[in-house]
Amino acid sequence: MPRIDLPQGTLDLLILRTLALEPQHGWAISERIQQISSDVLRVQQGSLYPALHRLERRGWIKARWGTSENNRRAKYYELTKAGRRQLEVEKDAWDKLTAAVAQVLGTA
């Protein structure tokens, strides 16, 4: 199955959505996105971490060190309250955008 690189700006949304389920470390986040999208979406690993740090700085997620499933020290990210609100906002915007794009494609 061909994989699609993420369109600009959607990575943040996907990270927030993934973290809405439970706190995760970076590797798990990328795995999760890939799994849920049935391997269609591929996260550029090099850009995942800058995105995480950016979101942390904006206060939408926060980080703490924890123990991973294979018993190693890993950095876990979890959604903050502000992050939850932001997720709603971005999800709304995304829905509107896809609906609009679909509409245009449908009528043209």
HSE, CB side, 13 Å, CA atoms: give it for residue 53: 4
Of 83 and 90, nearer to another protein (C-beta) is 83
Q: Does 46 contact another protein by CB under 8 A?
A: yes
Q: Does 62 contact another protein by CB under 8 A?
A: yes
SS (HEC) of 43-65 = CCHHHHHHHHHHHHHHCCEEEEE
Residue 59's φ and ψ, nearest 5 degrees, are: 85, 15
State the minimum distance, in angstroms, from the CB of residue 93 to another protein: 22
Of 26 and 79, nearer to another protein (C-beta) is 26
How far apart are the C-alpha atoms of 81 and 51, rounded to whole Å? 18
Of 12 and 90, nearer to another protein (C-beta) is 12
Q: Does 68 contact another protein by CB under 8 A?
A: yes
Total binding residues toward another protein, as defined by CB under 8 A: 24
Asked if 48 and 24 count as a contact pair (C-beta separation under 8 A), the reply is: no
Contact residues: another protein, CB under 8 A:
25-27, 31, 44-47, 49-51, 53-54, 56-59, 62, 68, 70, 72-75
